[in-house]
Amino acid sequence: MIRPTLRGRLDRVAHIVKAVTQQHHRDLLPLLRPVVASDAVILDVGAHAGQFTKLFARLAPRGRILAIEPSPYALGILRLVVALRRLRQVEIVPVGVSDAPGTATLLTPIKPSGAVGFGLASFARRVDRAAHRSDAVAVETLDAIADRFRLARIDLVKCDIEGFEVHALRGARRLLERFRPVLLLEISSASLARAGETPDAIWSLLAPLGYRGRRLGEPAWDDGFRGDGDYLFATPDRTELTDPPLRSVAGDRSQRRLTPAGRA
C-alpha cells in the first residue's frame, strides 16, 4: 500500500479547488451547443473530476447527465463538485465501462512526489515499473447502464477512458442502434494499444451503424483515423449539427484533447 505524502495531500487539495472553481474546455461550446438541448440526456463516460460534467450541466439545465467514473480518487472530487455546484441534474455512476460486466483492476500511477496521476488511471496493463495504486472496481456495459437508469433517449456520449473506448463501444451496441447519439471520443493509438486495440477498430464498430467520424478541427468527414486527437462521430441525420469549424483543445497535458484540466 502506498502511503500518501504531504505533497500528495496538497495536490489533492489543489485538484479539488480546480475542479470546483474552474471551468475548462470552453472552446468546445460551438460544437456542443447545437447538439445539447436544454433537456438533453448525456453520458459522460470517464467523468474524472467533473470538468465536462459541469459543462454539460450548464448546457442542459433541464436535462439529465450520468457522470460515469470508477476511480475512487476521482469520485471523491467529483462528488464534491456536484454537491458544491448544486448540479441537480447530474447522477454519479461509480463504475467502470467495458464490453462485459464484472470486476476489473484500475491502475493509477503515483508520481515520485507522491501525487496521484488520476488522469492516467486505466484498466490497461502497465508496461513500466512506476509506482501505482491498484483498485478493484465494478464494471458494467453502457447498454446495462442505459437499461438500469431507464433512459428513453441519449443525445450525446463523451468517452475518454484511456484506451478502453473500443471496449465501451462494444458494450453499447443496443444503445447506439436505438438512440444514435452523437459521440465525442478521445482516440490515442498508444492508449488503445495498451488495451489490445487499434483506432481502426472504432471505425469498424461504428461504420456499420451508419456513423461517420472526423477529427476536431478538420472541416470534412473523412471516415478514417487521422492521428491522435479528439473525434466526433455522428449519423447522417445529425452531421449538419456538428459542421461548424472547431478548434482542437490541443496543448499541454492538462488541456490537451478531452483530458480535463487538473489531471495529474
Q: What is the CATH number of the domain that holds 141?
A: 3.40.50.150
Of residues 76 and 253, more confidently modeled: 76
Check residue 263 and give its pLDDT: 45
60 is a domain residue: yes
Least confident of 64-78, 129-143, 200-214, 238-252: 238-252
257 is a domain residue: no
pLDDT tens by residue, 108-127: 777 766 666 666 777 877 65
Q: Which one-letter amino acid corresponds to residue 149?
A: F
The torsion angle over the Cα atoms of residues 5, 69, 106 and 199, rounded to 10 degrees, is -120
The residue segments making up the domain with residue 102 are 6-242
Check residue 13 and give its pLDDT: 74
Q: Which one-letter amino acid corresponds to residue 245?
A: P
- Grade residue 260 by pLDDT with cuts at 50, 70 and 90: very low
pLDDT tens by residue, 18-52: 877 777 788 888 888 888 999 999 999 999 989 99
Rounded Cα distance between 29 and 60, Å, is 12
* Cell matching residue 124: 490497461
Mean pLDDT for the chain? 84
**Contact between residue 185 and residue 202 where contact means Cβ atoms under 8 Å apart:** yes
107 is a domain residue: yes
* Cell matching residue 160: 475518454
pLDDT at 253 over 50: no
262 is a domain residue: no
* Cell matching residue 260: 480535463
Strands lying side by side in the sheet with 102-109: 96-97, 132-140, 102-109
Rounded Cα distance between 181 and 178, Å, is 9
pLDDT at 3 over 60: no
Check residue 16 and give its pLDDT: 74
Number of domains in the chain: 1
247 is a domain residue: no
E strand spans, 110-194: 132-140, 156-159, 182-187
Check residue 235 and give its pLDDT: 93
178 is a domain residue: yes
- Burial classification of residue 231, based on how many CB atoms lie within 10 Å of its CB (0-12 exposed, 13-18 middle, 19 or more buried): buried
- Burial classification of residue 76, based on how many CB atoms lie within 10 Å of its CB (0-12 exposed, 13-18 middle, 19 or more buried): middle
> Could you tell me which of 211, 203, 208, 209 has the C-alpha nearest to residue 236?
211
261 is a domain residue: no
Check residue 248 and give its pLDDT: 37
- Grade residue 254 by pLDDT with cuts at 50, 70 and 90: very low
Helix axes 72-84, 6-21, angle to 10 degrees: 40
253 is a domain residue: no
Rounded Cα distance between 36 and 42, Å, is 8
